[in-house]
Structure 1
């Protein structure tokens, strides 16, 4: 099993590069801000796995005291299909379990439908709910 640990300062650039390589970043979400925000809270973390001196897999995990959430699940493209994605998800689930969280949710962008099978193979299912959102802080 590959070890995942909480991100450190030296990992941040490598994590952002990984997310960009995996197509997870968007112009309206600053990944540096997302990492800083997660690291600044006791209810969230960015977990990383290293290969060859850089971040090769990651997952951002957090909870609201009721449900957990996963974000930025990423594996270096050349390493995909080797189980690191599953290990990232399991590491995040363990992080949540240690904090008493009993259910985890995740969001998959509609244009990323190919990843749906990955999560289904890990036991995730589509819930019949509608996700609604509203920005409450001007950017």
Structure 2
């Protein structure tokens, strides 16, 4: 970016570094993207909290090995979701700034698969097969 362009750009240094090209999108779309990001973060925190709750409150239900495994799996899913939410927010914001098509949501299959595996695991545990 030349000196003239950077002096005309009223955005902060961080904003210019994170989104070097394109134009500012309609604020309504940016705010909608942020709300979606926060929803994914809320979901990630629910998984992390679920992992903590499994470890803290299920000692009478699960053995220590299974309890630790379930807890770690839930927390790792939460961390993956949080990272995926940040990546998705950035990809969508960049696409809106460049006025290109929105990227496919790669995070949704992760949540679907994790939820299905978790539900199946719980069925096996409560059926006494694990």
Quick check: which one's strand share is greater?
1
TM-score of the superposed pair, with normalisation by structure 1: 0.24
Which protein, 1 or 2, shows the higher relative CO under an 8 Å CA cutoff with sep ≥ 6? 2
Quick check: which one's helix share is greater?
2
TM-score of the superposed pair, with normalisation by structure 2: 0.25
Larger Rg: 2
